[in-house]
Amino acid sequence: MQSAAYGPLMIRTAILGASGYVGGELLRLLAAHPALVPAKLFGESKAGQPVSSAHPHLAAAFADRSFEKFGDRALDDVDLVFAALPHGHSQRLAATILDRQIPFVDLGADFRLNDSATYERWYGDAHEAPELLDRFVYGIPELHRDAIRSAKAVAAAGCYATAAILALKPLVDAGMIDPASMIVDAASGVSGAGREAKEATGFSNVDGSFAAYGLVSHRHTAEMEMATGGTVLFTPHLVPMTRGILATCYATTTGEGDPLDFLRVAYADEPFVHVTDQPPATKWVAGSNGVQVTARRDDRTGRILALSAIDNLGKGAAGQMIQCANLMLGLDEGAGLSPIGVFP
Ligand SMILES: NC(=O)C1=CN([C@@H]2O[C@H](COP(=O)(O)OP(=O)(O)OC[C@H]3O[C@@H](n4cnc5c(N)ncnc54)[C@H](OP(=O)(O)O)[C@@H]3O)[C@@H](O)[C@H]2O)C=CC1
Ligand SMILES: CC(=O)N[C@@H](CCC(=O)OP(=O)(O)O)C(=O)O
C-alpha cells in the first residue's frame, strides 16, 4: 500500500469466498469504493468461472473477471484480505495472512469469541488456532472503533449478533436493564443462510411460513453475551424474504428514564445508526449499511423493549467488513457505504 491518505490510491484487496452471497455484496460495494479495489476474487467450486455466473447483477462492473482458486501466490501484491468463508476455514488461513502482516477482515465465526473453550462449547469443535484468538478485535465499529483502528485483524460480528448488540448494549451500559435478563427474538431473511440450496431455506419450505430454529443453541448467543456482558436467551426465526434481520429484544428494567433517550445519546454521532421513534422495518435498511433502532419502557410489565433492523448482507456482513477495513486503513469510515436503504 502506498499511503493511508487515499485519493487516486488503489488498495488491492483479496476476497476469499467472492462467489458467495456475502462475496457478491462485497463486490457490489467495492465496485463503488473510492480506494479499495477488488483485485483478487477467490472461489472454490466456482473457481475458473466468470463472476457473472454467480453474480449476474455484477456483470457490467466485472465483465472480464473470473474467480480464482486460492493457491501459493494468492496473497502476492495484496494490501488487505476479506474472508467470507464457511466457518472453520479462517482458522487454517489466518497464520499465513497475519505472518505476512496483511490487514485481515474475517466474517466467519472463527475469531469472534475471545476464548477457545467458549468457541468449542458453541461450535462443537476444538479451535485449531487458539493462539491467534487474541490477535483479533471483535468487529462492531460503533462499540470498538479505536481498537479496530489499530488492529491488524478484525473478526466482523455475526449478523444476528450485530442487530441484537446494537439494540441492547447502550441500555446495559446505562444501567437501564438487568444484563442477566435479556431475551432476543430475531427474524432473518433466507440469504442469511448463504447461497447453497438447503432444504430448510428452499422456496417451498419458506414461502408462506414463519418458523423458529436453533432453540436455546444458536451460536450467536455467545457473541451477544460476550459483547453485552450479560446472559441472553436467543431465538432465531426464518421469514420468507431475501434480506433483512429484525431483532426484538426484551429485558427487565433496572433504571429510570426513557430508553429511547439513552439510544439517542449513544448513537448521536454514529453515521450508520438511526434512532427512530417508530418500530423499524427491514425494508428501511435493505441494501444499506444502516441500522434503525428504537426502544420503549413498559412499566406495567417492568420490561424494556428494544428493536433493531439491519440488512444481514449489509451491516450484518459486507458493509460492516468494509466499515472495519476503512478504519484499519485510516480511510474515511463511511467510504463506499451508505445508511440509506432501497424502498419500497
Ligand atoms: N449470509 C449472511 O447474511 C451472513 C453470512 N455470514 C458468514 O459469512 C460467511 C460466508 O457466508 P455466505 O456468503 O452467506 O455463504 P455462501 O454459501 O453464499 O458462500 C460461501 C463461499 O465460500 C466458498 N467456499 C465454500 N467452501 C470452500 C472451501 N472449502 N474453500 C474455499 N472456499 C470455499 C464458496 O465458494 P464456491 O461457491 O465457489 O464453492 C463461496 O464463495 C459464512 O461464514 C457465514 O456464516 C456472516 C454474516 C451474515
Ligand atoms: C437464516 C440463517 O440461517 N442465518 C444464519 C446466520 C448465521 C450466520 O450467517 O453465521 P455467522 O454470522 O455466524 O457467520 C444461521 O442462523 O446460521
Residue extents of the structural domains in the chain? 11-156+316-328, 160-312
Low-confidence ranges of the chain (pLDDT < 70): 1-8, 197
**Looking at the domain covering 11-156+316-328, what would its CATH class be?**
alpha beta
- Which atom of ligand 2 approaches the CA of 220 most closely? 13
Report whether residue 161 contacts ligand 2, using a CB cutoff of 6 Å.
no
HSE, side-chain direction, 13 A CA sphere, residue 340:
2
Q: Which residues pair with 272 in a beta bridge?
A: none
**Which residues are within 8 A (CB) of 266 and not within 5 positions of it... i.e. 6 or more apart?**
170, 173, 174
Catalytic site residue from 159, 167, 275, 293: 159
pLDDT digit string, tens, across residues 20-44: 999 999 999 999 999 999 999 999 9
Global confidence as pTM: 0.97
Q: What pLDDT is stored for residue 3 in this prediction? A: 43
Best residue for ligand 2 mutational test, from 219, 224, 242 (most atoms within 8 Å of Cβ): 219
Q: What pLDDT is stored for residue 208 in this prediction? A: 97
User: 431483532: which residue's cell?
Assistant: 247
Specify the pairing of strand 232-238 against strand 211-212: antiparallel
Reference 308, options 167, 157, 173, 169; nearest CA is: 167
CATH 2.100.10.30 fits 160-312, yes or no: no
If residue 152 lies in a helix (H) or strand (E), which one and from where to where? Answer: none
Instruction: Check: CB of residue 26 under 8 Å from CB of residue 49.
Output: no
- Which atom of ligand 2 approaches the CA of 214 most closely? 16
Q: How far is the CA of 63 from the centre of ligand 2 (A)?
A: 30
The ligand 1 site (C-beta within 6 Å) comprises 17-23, 43-46, 84-87, 89, 107-108, 158-159, 191-192, 194-196, 312-313, 316-317
| Whether 159 is catalytic | yes
Q: What pLDDT is stored for residue 141 in this prediction? A: 98
